Structure formats: C-alpha cells, structure tokens
Structure 1
Amino acid sequence: MRWFRGWRVGVKLILGFLAVAAIAALIGALGLQATSQVNQMARLMYSQEVAGIRHASQTQLRLVAAGSAARAALLASDKGTSIGQVYAMRDHLQGASAEIEKLAALSQTPDEQATVADAAKAVMGYAEALEAFASQLEAAEMDVSSVAAYEAALANAVMQGEMAEMMVNMVVMNKQNTSAALADQTTAVYDDAVIRLGALTAFGALLAIVLGTFLTRGLVRQLGGEPADVVRVVNAVAHGDLATEVDVRRARSGSVMLAMERMRLALSAAVGQVHASSNSIAEGAHQIAGGNTDLARRTDEQVASLTQAAAAMEQLAGTVSSNAGVAQQAANMALTARHSAQHGGEVVNAVVQTMSDISQASRRVVDIIGVIDTIAFQTNILALNAAVEAARAGEQGRGFAVVASEVRGLAQKSAAAARDIKQLILNSTQKVDEGSHMVEQAGRAMSDIVHEVSQVADLIQEISRATQEQTDGIAQVNVAVAGLTQLTQQNATLVEASAAAAGGLSHQAGHLLDVMGVFNLGGRQAPAMVTYQPV
C-alpha cells in the first residue's frame, strides 16, 4: 500500500468517493432491474391473469343472471312479464358470450386456450338450452299442462348452465394458478433482489467505512493533528503570534503540524534576527547622523577659519605690495646716493655740502630702513599667523605652511638686511659728521662711501626681488586658500546631505521595527527600537 500512500489527498478522496459511487450505482442498477422485472410481472398479472379472472367472473355473473331471468320468466304471472325476463335473459347471455370472447383473447398458452374453448362451448350450450326454453315460453300460453314441459326444458338448461359454470370455474382456477405462479416468481425476484441489494449495501457500507477510516487516518497522519488544531496554529501565525508552541507529540515525520512547528521556529528566529538587525541599523544610523552633524559643525568652523586666513592673506598681500614700493624707492635712492658719491669724489671742493646732503639722505634712508624693518616685523608676524592657521588646517594646509615658512624666512632676511643697512647708514652719518673735521680723509671716505652705497644698492635690489617673490607666493597662497574654501563648502554640503540620508535611514529602520513588532516572539522578543533624535 506504499504506492497508494504516495498519492495526493485529492486523488485518494476522489477514488474513495468514486468507489462508493460505483457501489451505489451498482445497487441502483440492481434495484432498477428488480423493479423492472417486478413491474413487468405485475403488468402481466394485471393485463392477463387479473383481467382474465375478471372476465371469467363477469361470465359467471352473466350466466347466473341469465338463469335467474329464465326462472323469473317461468314464474311470471303474465305473459308480458315473462317475455321481459326472456329479453333480460338474452341480454345476459350475450354479455356472457362477449366476456368469454374477451377471455379467449387473453389466453396465451395452449392449455389456457383449450380450457377457454371448452368453457365457451359450455356457455354456448347453456345459451342454446335457455334459448330453447325461451322459445317454448314465447310460443305457447302459460297453463298448467305446459308447466312440466317448461320445467323439463329449464332443468336441461340448468344442467347446461352448471356445466358452463364448472368450465368457467376451471378457467378461473387456471388463471388463479397462473397468478399464483407469477406471484411466486415476483416474490422470488424480490427476494433475490433483496439478497443482492442487501449484500451490495453491506459491502458498500463496509467499503465506505474502510475507505473513510483509511482516508481519515491518512489525513490525520498527514496533518499531524486535528484540522481545528491546524486552523488554530495558522490563525496564530497569521496574527503574528510566534510564541505559541505547536503540539507535535503525535505528529509524524512529514506531517503538516510538524512542518508548521518548524516553520514557526524558523520564522521566529528570522523575525528575531530582523528585529536585532533593524535595531542595530537604527542605532548605527543615529550615530552616523550625530557624527555627520558634528562633522558639519567642524566643517563650518573650517570654512570660517579659511575665510579669516584668506582675509589675512589679502592683508599680507597689501602689506607686501606696499613693502615692494618702499623697497623700490629705497633702491632708487641708493642709486642716487651712489651717483652722488661718485660725483662727490670728483668735486672735493663741495665735500661739505655734499656730505651735508649725504647726511640728510642718510637720515632719510634711516627712516626708510626703519619702515622696512617695521614691514619686515609685520611680515614676520603675518607669516607666524599664517603658519598657525596652516597647522590648524591640518593636511589641507601643508602647502600653505610651506609658503608661510618661506615668507617668514624672507621677512627675517629683510629685517636682518634692514638692520645692517641701518647700522651702515648710522656709521655713514657719523663719518659724514666727522668729515667736516676730516676733509683730508674725504677722498678715502668717499671711496668707502661709494663702496658701501654699492652694497646698499645691491641689498635693496635683493630686498625688492624678495618682496616680489613674496607677492607671487602670497598670490598663490590666496588661490590655494580659495580652493580650500570651495572644497570645504562642498564638503559641508555633502555632510548635510549625508546627515539627511542618515535621518531617513533611521526613520525607515524605525518603521521596519514597527512592522516587525506585530510578531510575538515570547521570551525572545527583540529589544525596543532606537529612536533617532537630531543632534
């Protein structure tokens, strides 16, 4: 029966119902056959035997009525009454003849036909005897002398009538015997049908019980429990209740209840994991959003710092540009002083006046050198500020720090050169003052002055070139700071977009936790949802 167990439930049910339906159809067919046979026998009994008995009985009644009419005609007190009874007798005889003819038409077997033919002859003889009696009554007057002849004729007729009645009784008996035989056949058919139908009914009931028991046990085994238990478990899972355990103590391997218990456990584990994962996602999204908010704030601070650095660099550029102008003026003055010193060597007679001019020019140079020293000091301070801002900018300010370091070095060199020039100018001024008293040393002093002025011119040219390089470097630093500011602003925009995305992710994770909260996991219920709060 293993091959049958492997069939689907629908096929098993259909085959079971088809088997029961086949038994029922067989029972119905046998019942219809038996009913048809009984009906056929009943129709035959009614149309042949019962109708024949009725016609025979009518024949007997007609014969008796004809005999009674003949006696009444004999006993009548007058001629008219006697003739009336004769007419009645003839009517009854005609009716008897008609009934016997109908009876002959219903005869089927040769024996019945012979018996009916004998009965018809007897009836005919009885009719002829009564007709002879009636003819005597009609031909003669009723008197005492003719009564004996009438009675003799009537006695003959009565004897013929008894013979006819006896023959008709034989026909009736034959019909009754035939009816009894048909009744016995009908009873036999009925009994046989009852036996066969009873056997088939018992077999069908037994088959239905066996199939019902087998199918029920098979269904219960496949379900692993009662259908109501299956419905209860399915409804519980449909409503998100995964904590209710399924009773699988009676469930066999491969049953629906056992599969549903496995499904419940697997679904419970999956829902628990989804709960935990959703909570972790929500918490991570919250942390990401907070970090993005902090990063956005720091990025804004960097933008502000870079803006300040750009402003400082613009101010430094202006200062360096001014320094370049002053250095150019100093260079021009140094050239003028050089030419003056050369002319002073040639014009010894104008030494005093020239020395006075040199003294005045030297004082102006001292003032200019003081300005240069001040500019170099401010440049050094601005370079220090730029280095500090570059250090605060981190990796992005490394190039800016290098430029600031170079600017600081140039500023320090400018300051050192300015101090040297100042010292030289002071010495020159002192010598000019002493020149008034040392005219004899004017030539040698003028040579020294020419030499010193040449050095001053070279130094001033170096200062002018360094100042131009500072201007170019500061312009590059301004470009770099502008690029850093733009990049930082773009980073701030990206950070804001990332914060918005993290907030949306946290919201979606919270919605997922709300959806998964429909499931009841019992003792393994997932932790509460982490709510996102903007930082």
Structure 2
Amino acid sequence: MLSTLRFRLLLAMAAIITLALIANAAVSYFTIQRHNDQQVARNLTAEAQGNGLAIGEWVGARAMMLEALAPAAHSDDPMTALQQLEASGGFIATYMAYPQDGSAVFSDGWTPPSDYDPRQRTWYQQAVEAESTVVTEPYADADTGGLVVTIAAPFYRNDRLVAVAGGDIGIEAIVDIAGSIAPTPESFAFLVTADGTLVAHPDPEMTLEPASRLTADFDAGYFSAPIGVGEPERLALGGRDKWLRSVPISGTDWQLVVALDEREATAGLRAVLGSSALTLVLVVLGAVLVLGALLTLMFRRLQVVRDAMIDIASGDGDLTLRLPEVGRDEVAQIASAFNRFVSRIESVLITIREASESVTVAAGEIATGGQDLSRRTENAASSLQQSSASIEEITSTVEHTADSARHASELSQSASEVATRGGEVVGQVVSTMEEITASSERIGNIVKVMDGIAFQTNLLALNASVEAARAGEQGRGFAVVAGEVRQLATRSAEASREIRGLIDASGQKVASGTELVRRAGATMEELVAGVNRVAKVLGEISVAAGEQSDGIGQVNVAVAELDRMTQQNAALVEESTVAAEQLKEQADRLAEAVGGFKLGERAVVPA
C-alpha cells in the first residue's frame, strides 16, 4: 500500500494537516497557557493580598485599640480603660506596666507574685526596643490551650518611657481566615513568621511547628522577604507541585503564604489540550476520508492508464497497443507521451529485427566460410608440418651422409697412410725374410755340424762300450756312462735330423713367404694409389654433401617460417570462426529478444 502514489499523497496531505493543526494547537496552547499563568498569578496575588489585608486590618485594629490607652498611661487609674479595651477588643486580658518600679495593673484583677517583673517579659522588651506597637510570637495559652499573641505598645512623655500597655488576644480568627483560604480543593494557605514558625495551617498539628516540616526548601532565611512577588514560585508540597505567593502582614513579621495547586490551576489548559487533541483526530480523520474520496476520483483515469501500461508490460511485448488520449490533463499528456515513446520503440525494434536477421544470415555465412577456411588451413598446416618433418629427416640424412663422407674421407686418408706404412713394412718384411733365409742356411750348417758331432759321439760311446765290455767288472760303470752318452748322442742325432727337417721346411716356407711378401708389397702400392683416389673422391663428396646440407638447412628455415605463418593464419582463422560463431549467437539472441515483442510491419513515429 505504501508503494501507491495515492496512498503517499493521502499520507502526505494528512501529515501536513496534522502538522498544521498541531502547530495551531501549540500556538493556541502556549497563548492560553501564558494568559492562564498571568491570570493565575493575578488571582493568587489578589487572594493573598486580600486575605493578608484582612489579617493585617484585624491586627491593626487591635493595635490601634491598644494605642488608644495613651491617656490611661498618663493617669493614675488605668483600670477602667483597660477593662473597656478588653471588652471592646476581645482581649483575654489587658495590662499596663511601668518602667519606674516594675509594677503592673491587670484588667482582670490578677495580682502578680512578688518576683514578677514585667520589664523582663518579651512583650515589654520588644515594645521598648521597637519604640512602637509590636505583636509577639504566638504561644499556647496556659489556661485555655488556645493560640495567643500579645500586642504591646510603649507610651512616652517628653521622649521618656512612662508605661507599656499590653493585651493578650486569641488569634483563632486569624487561624480561621488562613484556614478558609482554598482557591482550589488541593490549595491552602498558611501563616508563618520571619523565622519560619507556622502560626496558622490547615492542619492544627502543624501550629507552632517549623515550616521546614512542609519541605526542606523552607530553611531559616526563606521567609526573610516575600516570595513569589514577580512570578509565583513553584515548589512541591505534600507530593504535589504548588505555586506559592506570600504577602507580609502589616504590623508583624508574619507572611501569609497561599499555596495554589498547579495541577488544579492548569486543569483548564489540560481540558483545552484534550479538546484540541480530540479535534485534531476528528479533523484528520475527516480530512483523510474526504481526501481519500477526492484522490480516488482524481486518480481513476490515472489508474486506467496504469492498468493499460501494466497490460502492455505484462503481456507478450505487444507494442501495437496504445493508451487512450482523452482530455487535456496531465494523464492525457502522459498517455500521449507514452504512445509516442512506444511508437518510437516499435520503429527501433523493427529496424533491429531486420538488422538482426541480416546479421544472422551474414554471421552464418561468415561462420561457414570461416569453418571451411579453418579446415583448409588446418589441412595445409598439417601437410606443411609433414613436409617440414620430411625435410628435417632429409636434412638429418644429408647431414649424416656428409658426416659419413667426411668420416670415410678421413678413414681413407688414414687407410692411405696405413697402406703406405704397410708397404714400407712389407719391404722391411721382405728384407727380414731374406735375412731369415740366410740365417736358416747358417742354422742348417750348424745343425750339420751338430749332426757330425752326434755321430762322432755315438762312435765314441760305442767304442767306450766295447772297451767297457772288455774291461769286465771294472768297466761296468764306464759302460753305463757310455750307454747314456750313446743314448744322448742318438737323441742329439734325432733332434738334429728333426731340426734339419724343420729348417728345410722353414726355408721353403720362408722362400714362399718372401715371394708372397714381394707380391703383397706390389699390391700394397696399388692399394695406396687406389686409397688416395678414393680419398680424393670422398673429399669431393663431403664438400658436395656440406653444400647440400646448407641448402636444405635454408629450405628448412623457410619451411619453418612458412609453418609458423600458417599456424598463425590458422589461429587467426580459428579466432575469426569463433568471433563469427559468437556474432551469430548474439544475432540469434538479439533476434530472440526482439521476437519477444509483437511488432507491426513498419511503425510510423508520430511527429
């Protein structure tokens, strides 16, 4: 409910009316309060002054009666005057005291005791000190128990004190006057002396009690001067707030204090405030009802516009609907502006729909072409990568061949050198073999000598055996030795024959080896020449392979650069394809968003 403009306007107007009424009531209340306070202060002052004047007149009248005893003070027999004063003034007793001898005459014939001296009495001393009529503090009468004061007046002749007259009088009348003062039921008055002693109070038990029993604010000096003269003083007495106003009683140091109950004094204000509050509530309720009805009538056409706009907003986006433009008020202007706005939006959305359809077709074609181009680029990149790998393998093979050629050239050069050295060694072998042949011939000669020595040794051993046989027993040991020598000679001869056979065979083999070594030397010379020619050819092959390797390396670099560029192109094509797909998706979303509105064929925007 708070969201409706009608309710907020109603609430705002009710708040304005309420604030206005509250302000008016507040101004009225404070104005009435000020006048009420002034009136209460005047009434309180009048009440206090009127009753204070009555009490003062009562006291003044008795004081004047007492002062009328002046002729009797100068006579020798004041009794008659004292008795007349007692009877006319309502005194309990009147008396005349003389300062010369301290004697006193009493109207009731009372004879004081011998130790009685009126000059020591309070009333006498106060009158002499004040040199005028005084009223003493109240006290309780010993006989009646009533509240009594003494009025005393000094009399002079030629500025010399001749007598002091006094009269005891009950102040029940004053107490009655103070007790009768009650401006409101909870208000009261009391009579108090300058030192704070209560002379009269509605509660008899408070008589002659200190005023501080009423409240702690009533200290000893509180009643030294009148209170509440300019504005009533506010104090709490008896648990209720009071307005205090006092007036001094002439001829005494007393004050009549009137305590007006504040709640009762402001009862009219509270009544005004209550009636103002009730009026405020009734007026606000009436205003709310009247304004509610008026706003309902005023907002009826606006609600129609709102319902139509809700139908447009909550339906299927039907932008062909228009609001009724009836009248010339703000509602009609809102409807007209809304219709123009919807027409413009419809025109824009139709343009967007047509553009989105074109964008969708173009995006689809771009995406399809991008996909085809991406596949062809990927195939080209794959073929290029395979070519690059093949070239890298050819490069590796050529480099390996070049290395092998260089290695073969180096090996051929080493083989040539080895063959050369082998030829030299073969020559040395031939020389050595010839030397071995010569040595074999010399060994053969030595073996022949050894063979002759063995034959001769065998003959000697045979002769020795014959001689030992001839010698018999003496030659037996020599025969044994001779036998051993013959065996040794036989073995030497056999060994010599074997050595000769070996030497002959070795000589034949040495001769064959020498021939073979000569042939090997010739072959080695031919091999050295062939190896040199192979080394030359391999060197040329190595140079050509190095040149091929450099050329293939440059081709490999070019292919690698081409492969990198192809990969970049493939990446760009992929990004283009993705962008085209996204563009197509956005176009689809745009078409879907626009498709959520119901549009005409072509909207015409009104001027």
- What TM-score do you get using the length of structure 2 for normalisation? 0.28
Question: Bigger relative contact order, structure 1 or 2, given CA contacts below 8 A and separation 6+?
Answer: 1
**Max radius of gyration: which structure?**
2
Give the TM-score normalised by the residue count of structure 1.
Answer: 0.31
Structure ranking higher in strand proportion: 2
Q: Which has the higher helix share?
A: 1
